[in-house]
């Protein structure tokens, strides 16, 4: 899934990492927005064998966008704001 930046994107750039690879983002992005606009395609892999997942509800209800944030543990990508230098691990 590739999310498209359409409006209100004049915000400071920053870098964070996903699975050890540097990824660009903008201040105010959620992890979900940052990962899907950067072309990563998915934010986790289903533990039931049906492939990648990229969230669904974008509002903290469906729990389909869990990622691991180093030092913080499991977080919902859709309700967690990106910060410079944070390390995200996809499961």
Our finding on whether 15 is near other proteins (CB under 8 A) is no
Question: What is the smallest separation between the CB atom of 13 and other proteins, expressed in angstroms?
Answer: 12
Closest to other proteins by CB, 15 vs 81, is: 81
Rounded to the nearest 10 degrees, how much is the dihedral formed by the CA atoms of 29, 31, 37, 38? Answer: 120
* Number of residues that this document lists for the chain: 91
Measuring CA to CA, how many Å separate 67 from each of 9, 11, 47, 89, 90?
Answer: 24, 24, 13, 6, 5
Least distance from other proteins to the Cβ atom of residue 76, Å:
9
Residues in contact with other proteins by the rule CB under 8 A: 1-12, 27-30, 33, 36-37, 41-42, 46, 48-64, 66, 72-75, 79, 81
């Amino acid at each position: 899934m590739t999310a498209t930046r359409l409006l209100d994107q004049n915000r400071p750039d920053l870098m964070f990492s996903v699975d050890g690879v540097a990824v660009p983002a903008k201040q105010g992005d959620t992890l979900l927005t940052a990962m899907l606009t950067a072309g990563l395609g998915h934010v986790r892999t289903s533990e039931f064998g049906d492939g990648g997942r990229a969230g669904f509800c974008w509002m903290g209800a469906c729990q389909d966008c869990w990622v691991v944030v180093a030092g913080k543990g499991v977080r919902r990508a859709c309700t967690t704001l990106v910060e410079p230098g944070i390390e995200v691990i996809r499961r």
